[in-house]
Structure 1
């Protein structure tokens, strides 16, 4: 049964989302919050949540295989250990933690597989920034995206993943110092 609700006078039917339409941040947050208690399938794949592109269009994120999440967990564990051993005091998120990667003055919500937010940045966040995508945008200073690109770094899968990674995460607007004098860096890991 479809779950229908009105968000800012716009009716949203989760079973019949319009992927050509632009959604507001409030609608985006509402849709993702509903997916915690509602199974949505797109092209016969269960969808966990959405990202939001620079035009306000939804990008669906399907469930991931066990091995991929094992890689995410291991990288997050290693980053957590480093965070503790070096007394960084930062915050680590995994593939459910989204960030506003404002690109060309447009809100773009992306979900890196693993991310690190410095203590300096984290301590300055408002409740609104911590618990929603509202408020001033902020980005992690380190992030990881995991892709299945194969062994040949010159293949099209690698080029496509590398291009998306650079365009959507490490953009000109996110390369600038992030309030603490630290520059964002990222890594693309291969599953093979």
Structure 2
């Protein structure tokens, strides 16, 4: 069995709550998809409630966003022969643009990876005047699902002790560089006064 290195934080005010195996099996059956094993692991730990990244676990809503995303992709002739698993949808109405912006998070499960790339399908501005928008797919900057969750956790809860220890060489290098910059700055200030 592969190890899934999700960083789950025990936040007493906002605990992670997982789904049971039966609930996950029901979701897979209702969506008529086999979830990637890494996503199953995530659901077991934070399916009902996540203190970092909530996913859709209501079977009707999951089917609905799945169909909506498939329809959007088909309109653009994108990923037509691929199995996709939409796990979350953000729906934001922006008053300034008088428009609804939808963002879908999904896996292309046809890639058949144990830790699949997490993709985002969204509408983005394509000119400087904010007058033209285009729908596009992009990978999350963290590349895979585990890294995406762990970066979100880091942003919300900060670095772990292990990450600080890993950064010690960087800290050591930055101290002399900072001192050199302070000395140069000091000389510049003295030079201007005289």
TM-based fold match above 0.5: no
Higher helix share: 2
TM-score scaled by length of structure 2: 0.26
Report the TM-score when normalising by structure 1: 0.26
